[in-house]
């Protein structure tokens, strides 16, 4: 701009401003808008354009906000329709828009977090739940604060942070205990309290505190039994009661009480069957029914009822497949389908159908891999993937593909090492790591690498011993320790260390005998006892025949009660032949 032009430009600016200020505003039915326009023109005429712009900007912002707020009922309706048609991504976008317009709302942010979980975005869900908690705190809404603590705990569990998850659940429990004591007649608060006990029990299970977990589950069961008795028509309370029976069954399985566990699972299944029949369209109840069938299948496998187990697993898988087809974006249902395939594979292995088992495991692996890629922070999905790799490795071992099996086991080990490092207090992940070391040792034995196998077995045993000492009542941990003694004993035999092998096999037998006496119906433990007796027959200097006779008697008992697995049918002839060929001592 030339300096000489400035006076001319100023005159034009003043002329234009005053002309605009004298110009009458366009007719408007909105008095506020008309007044704002008049105010703006007055300021322009007074040569105050900056103030005019500020007035207009403020008014436009108010109008935009008012317009947006008018849209909220429409947006909420759109979100509800999207929920009905399972458009999770679209619904999430709408709810986030409502949150942007409407400000802090604990319930809304909680809903946003729930959808993020469904879509496999755990970190985004955690952020939403934290915002829900902040909003609830601002409103001094104790119940919503407790709900937010619980949801935060759920994400932390999925991310493998057991200690912080427990702290979140305990914070929720403290608030809910106070609310329930304040108004014992408030059934909603009583139910909330039962949920907190349940969640704490879940974390304690993962930390290896079986007794503490059982106490938490029983506290939850007592509350839920009272609620269900108060109003048998309340389906939510009936479902809660089924979940409590389920959790207690899980603990009883770990403690070796197969009969008690089966009774608990059957009580749960009866409730779930009734609910699913009442409303077949309720997908949550259908999923519960699927899980119920699966858990009963787990017990039947251990008891040697392979046909019953396969039927139970198939019933669960059929439901899981139907749900997954209904909503392919639902990651929980996809995971259920993956687990269902894996369990079917387990039974097919026992029945000797390796090809069928491999196909089932591969189907489970494909889903597990997809989920794990979707949300690498989700530790449950990472663990599922490690299990799939491990089971495929088992089949490859049986098929003689040592290299393929080793690759599968190493893929599993890598995942499990990362999980165990993330939360060393998580006993399930520590156990998984122990099992992976053991399986790698098995392959190395077959490949003639005795030193490498022994190192792998000892790494697994170190973990197994620590777990067994942490929770002596956990029969799974005790069995792992027994198996590790046997594997180490086998390597020591091949290395010529007879004394070391004898000590290892005797330690394995002592544990196996204790477990078998605890639950004679557990066919896995009976089989372990057979293996231990046979192992000792190979290393003791005297009494070899007695060990073989004890092993044969166990196998005969299993065979005569139709509990001997098809893949173990060879044992009967093998032990009979050994004894016939064995000289009298």
Domain coverage including residue 24: 3-66
- CA-based nearest residue to 459, from 477, 437, 441: 437
Q: Tokens standing for 507?
A: 């330690």
Q: Are residues 147 and 253 in the same domain?
A: yes
- Residue 343 belongs to some domain of the structure: no
- Residue 310 belongs to some domain of the structure: no
Q: Are residues 39 and 153 in the same domain?
A: no
Rounded-to-integer distance, Cα 81 and Cα 74, Å: 11
pLDDT digits (tens, 9 = 90+) for 393-421: 999 999 999 999 999 999 999 999 999 99
- Residue 165 belongs to some domain of the structure: yes
Of the three residues 278, 309, 341, the one that is the final residue of a domain is: 278
Of the three residues 23, 45, 66, the one that is the final residue of a domain is: 66
Q: Are residues 154 and 44 in the same domain?
A: no
Q: At what angle do helices 235-254 and 187-206 cross, to 10 degrees?
A: 20
Angle at CA 189, nearest 5°, toward 187 and 191?
70
Query: Can you give the pLDDT at residue 244?
Result: 97
- Residue 53 belongs to some domain of the structure: yes
Sign of CA dihedral 123, 129, 130, 132: positive
Burial class for 578, CB neighbours closer than 10 Å (0-12, 13-18, 19+): middle
pLDDT digits (tens, 9 = 90+) for 271-330: 999 999 999 999 999 999 999 999 999 999 988 898 999 999 999 999 999 999 999 989
Rounded-to-integer distance, Cα 166 and Cα 213, Å: 12
Q: Are residues 145 and 262 in the same domain?
A: yes
Rounded-to-integer distance, Cα 151 and Cα 143, Å: 12
| Residue tagged 């946003």 (tokens) | 112
Rounded-to-integer distance, Cα 433 and Cα 327, Å: 34
Q: At what angle do helices 354-374 and 331-350 cross, to 10 degrees?
A: 160
Mean per-residue pLDDT over the chain, rounded: 90
Q: Are residues 46 and 173 in the same domain?
A: no
Q: Are residues 272 and 150 in the same domain?
A: yes
Examine the pLDDT at 133 and tell me if it is beyond 50.
yes
Query: Can you give the pLDDT at residue 458?
Result: 98
For residue 421, the tally of other CB atoms under 10 A from its CB is: 11
CATH code of the domain covering residue 151: 1.25.40.10
Q: What is the DSSP string of 35-84?
A: HHHHHHHHHHHTT-HHHHHHHHHHHHHHHHHHHHHHHHHHHHHHHHHHHH
Q: Are residues 268 and 184 in the same domain?
A: yes
- Residue 365 belongs to some domain of the structure: no
Query: Residue 70: which pLDDT band, with cuts at 50, 70 and 90?
Result: confident
- Residue 167 belongs to some domain of the structure: yes
Query: Can you give the pLDDT at residue 274?
Result: 96
- Residue 121 belongs to some domain of the structure: no
Examine the pLDDT at 127 and tell me if it is beyond 60.
yes
Q: Are residues 61 and 154 in the same domain?
A: no
Task: Give, as one character, the DSSP assignment of residue 280.
Answer: T
Rounded-to-integer distance, Cα 556 and Cα 526, Å: 11
Least confident of 26-30, 52-56, 358-362, 406-410: 26-30
Alpha-helical segments (H) within 305-376: 306-326, 331-350, 354-374
Q: At what angle do helices 31-45 and 6-22 cross, to 10 degrees?
A: 150
Q: Are residues 150 and 50 in the same domain?
A: no
Give the 3-state secondary structure of residue 401. coil
Number of domains, the chain:
2
Q: Are residues 54 and 146 in the same domain?
A: no
Q: Please give the model's pTM, rounded to 2 decimal places.
A: 0.70
Of the three residues 278, 298, 318, the one that is the final residue of a domain is: 278
Query: Residue 129: which pLDDT band, with cuts at 50, 70 and 90?
Result: very high
Rounded-to-integer distance, Cα 453 and Cα 433, Å: 15
Residues 210 and 474 sit within 8 Å (Cβ to Cβ) = yes
Query: Can you give the pLDDT at residue 112?
Result: 92
- Residue 10 belongs to some domain of the structure: yes
Q: What is the DSSP string of 108-170?
A: HHHHHHHHHHHTT-HHHHHHHHHHHHHHHHHTT-HHHHHHHHHHHHHHHHHTT-HHHHHHHHH
Q: Are residues 159 and 51 in the same domain?
A: no
């Amino acid at each position: 701009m030339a300096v000489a032009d400035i006076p001319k430009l100023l005159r034009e600016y003043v002329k234009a401003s005053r002309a605009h200020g004298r110009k009458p505003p366009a007719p408007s039915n909105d008095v506020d808008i008309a007044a704002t326009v008049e105010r703006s023109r007055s300021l322009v005429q007074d040569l105050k354009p900056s103030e005019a712009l500020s007035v207009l900007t403020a008014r436009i912002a108010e109008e935009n906000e008012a317009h947006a707020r008018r849209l909220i009922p429409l947006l909420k309706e759109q979100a509800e329709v999207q929920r009905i048609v399972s458009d999770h991504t679209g619904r999430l976008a709408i709810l986030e828009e409502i949150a942007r317009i409407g400000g802090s709302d604990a319930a809304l942010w909680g809903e946003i977090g729930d959808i993020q979980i469904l879509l496999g975005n755990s970190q985004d869900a955690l952020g939403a739940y934290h915002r829900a908690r902040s909003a609830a705190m601002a409103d001094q809404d104790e119940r919503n604060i407790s709900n937010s603590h619980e949801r935060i705990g759920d994400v932390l569990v999925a991310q493998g942070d057991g200690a912080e998850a427990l702290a979140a659940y305990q914070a929720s429990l403290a608030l809910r205990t106070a609310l329930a004591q304040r108004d014992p007649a408030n059934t909603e608060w009583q139910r909330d309290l039962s949920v907190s006990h349940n969640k704490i029990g879940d974390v304690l299970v993962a930390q290896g505190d079986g007794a503490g977990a059982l106490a938490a589950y029983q506290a939850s069961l007592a509350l839920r039994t009272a609620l269900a008795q108060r109003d048998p028509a309340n389906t939510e309370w009936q479902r809660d009661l089924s979940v409590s029976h389920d959790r207690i069954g899980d603990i009883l399985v770990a403690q070796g009480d197969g009969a008690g566990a089966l009774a608990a699972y059957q009580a749960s299944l009866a409730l779930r069957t009734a609910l699913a029949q009442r409303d077949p369209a309720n997908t949550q109840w259908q999923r519960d029914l699927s899980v119920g069938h699966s858990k009963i299948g787990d017990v039947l496998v251990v008891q040697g009822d392979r046909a019953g187990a396969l039927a139970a697993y198939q019933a669960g898988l059929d439901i899981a497949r139907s749900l997954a087809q209904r909503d392919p974006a639902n990651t929980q249902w996809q995971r259920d389908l993956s687990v269902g395939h894996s369990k079917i594979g387990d039974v097919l292995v026992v029945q000797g159908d390796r090809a069928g088992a491999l196909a089932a495991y591969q189907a489970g692996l494909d889903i597990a891999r997809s989920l794990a890629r979707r949300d690498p922070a989700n530790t449950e999905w990472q663990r599922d993937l490690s299990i799939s790799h491990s089971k495929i490795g088992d089949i490859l071992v049986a098929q003689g593909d040592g290299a393929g099996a080793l690759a599968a086991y190493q893929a599993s080990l890598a995942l499990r090492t990362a999980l165990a490092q993330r939360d060393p207090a998580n006993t399930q992940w520590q156990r998984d790591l122990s099992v992976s070391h053991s399986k790698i040792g098995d392959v190395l034995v077959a490949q003639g690498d005795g030193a490498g196998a022994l190192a792998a077995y000892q790494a697994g045993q170190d973990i197994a011993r620590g777990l067994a000492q942490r929770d002596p009542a956990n029969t799974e941990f005790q069995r792992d320790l027994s198996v590790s003694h046997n594997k180490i004993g086998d390597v020591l035999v091949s290395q010529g260390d007879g004394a070391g092998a004898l000590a290892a096999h005797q330690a394995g037998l002592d544990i196996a005998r204790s477990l078998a006496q605890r639950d004679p119906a557990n066919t896995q433990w009976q089989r372990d006892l057979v293996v231990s007796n046979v192992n000792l027959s190979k290393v003791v200097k005297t009494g070899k025949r007695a060990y073989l006779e004890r092993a044969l008697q166990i196998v005969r008992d299993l065979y005569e009660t139709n509990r001997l697995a098809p893949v173990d049918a060879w044992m009967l002839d093998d032990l009979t032949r050994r004894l016939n060929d064995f000289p009298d001592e």
